[in-house]
Amino acid sequence: MLRKGIVRIYTFKNEFEILRGFAIIGVIIIHSFGFVFKYSGVDLIYSSLILIRSISGAAVPAFIFISGFCNYLKYNAEYKVKDYYLNKLYRIIPPYLIFSLLFLMFYKFKNSNYIDFLNGMPQYLLRIAVLSIHYHFWFFGLIISFYVFFPVIKLLIRKFRNNLLLLFIGSIIVQILWLLIRIPLFALINIMDLSLITKIFLSYSIKYTFLSYIVYFILGIIVSMKTESILTILAKKNSKKWIISSVIMIILVTFLFYQLHFNEVFIGYSLFIKIAGLFLFVPSIIIFLYISYKINYFLSPLKKIFLKIGKYSFSIYLIHPLIILIISPLIRELFQFTLERWIYKSIIALCTLCLSLIISYLIGLIPYNFIIKTQARIYKKIQLKKHLGIKIFNIYKKDQNKSVFLTSINNEETRFYYNLKLQ
């Protein structure tokens, strides 16, 4: 319980910045290692690789989760829809065009035949138009889909704000149903008598539709609405039961994936894996958030590293595939396949992360770097006890000696303490 007269202000700024760090590391692992099931032999290292690769699959859901959290906090109050869309276009289109042109220049560099490059230019421009100049740009299509339909999602949130569990269960049902009809829709478009442009538009609209990840976006919104409850759960000692349950779920689902991949026990197992991914990615997000909380308050050295990675996660995401394309053949030639494949892939992942972070930092020194630089902009503030006429200036600060939150009010020496341990 809170003592009388106590004001507690809490923000998930650092936790979500650290969570961004975990998510972008997961993306780099996925793109560096590829499909880990291709490795031969089964031992402790191989099993660990499978588990790491499975958890890394939660990277995109984690980014969607963060997006849902931040969008709801920022646009929970009344806002002009026109200003909302203009703001989102301003944040998405410039970085996409800049890095699309960068990848286009890379393709030109690889293709020494200038005539062939010019002949392929219409195809390159079409790929830029459909957000597929390189494989990782598909995320832009997904996030744009969420932004376009966010006003509609917000109306649903208002309607079910008193029954969030029903809303979450409903999002699970919708996502599963969409995954089931998604492939038949692609097939239907291919056999329909439509123009090529129409087929392309419909196909990519289905590909990028937010319904494939709606659960994680809704989960982020729910966490933003129930930050106080989430904080209480994280602070309690018995929160470990949630973590242990999540770890068990991850191991079981990963084992299931492994068995289905090698045995192919029934037709459509790949679709089943995508649906069952819900029971892998949601627990993974829970664990990432818990670890982010612990790092923020108890592991200062790691905190600084992950905060820096999270701060530049957007530009790291944009640049890292290009770095992988450049350094992979160089590392392969350097070691001449004398290393185990998992070590070779780990070196690529580590080098990619470090180089991407350095380049992102240098980008941050360029004028107008805000176009491609991101950081957590939404700070969740909760005031449990209202004090009229009191304005809070500091977000929070941890008192190391008393393990409490320290809040400064009106720049005075008045301070209120709240011990995270149950009193």
pLDDT tens over the chain, length 423 residues = 333 333 334 456 788 899 999 999 999 999 988 765 444 555 677 777 888 888 888 999 999 999 999 888 888 877 788 888 888 888 888 889 989 988 888 887 776 666 666 677 788 888 888 888 888 999 999 999 999 999 899 888 888 888 889 999 999 999 999 988 988 888 888 888 888 788 888 888 888 899 999 999 999 999 988 877 777 777 666 677 888 888 888 888 888 777 766 555 555 556 777 787 888 899 999 899 889 988 988 887 889 899 999 989 999 999 999 999 999 888 888 876 666 778 888 899 999 999 999 999 888 887 655 555 544 344 334 333 333 233 333 333 333 333 333 333 333 323 332 333 333
3-state secondary structure of 392: strand
Owner of token pair 């097939």 = 187
Domain boundaries, the chain: 13-385
Those residues whose C-beta lies under 8 Å from the C-beta of residue 115, and which sit 6 or more positions away, are none
* Residue 307 and residue 17 in contact, taking contact as beta carbons nearer than 8 Å: yes
Burial category of 155 from C-beta neighbours within 10 Å (exposed 0-12, middle 13-18, buried 19 and up): exposed
Report DSSP letters for 24-44, one per residue: HHHHHHHHHH--GGGS-S-SH
Round to whole Å and give the CA distance between 279 and 57: 12
Single pTM value for the model: 0.81
Q: Which DSSP category does 128 fall into?
A: H
Round to whole Å and give the CA distance between 124 and 117: 9
* Residue 38 and residue 355 in contact, taking contact as beta carbons nearer than 8 Å: no
List the structure tokens of 33: 């290692």
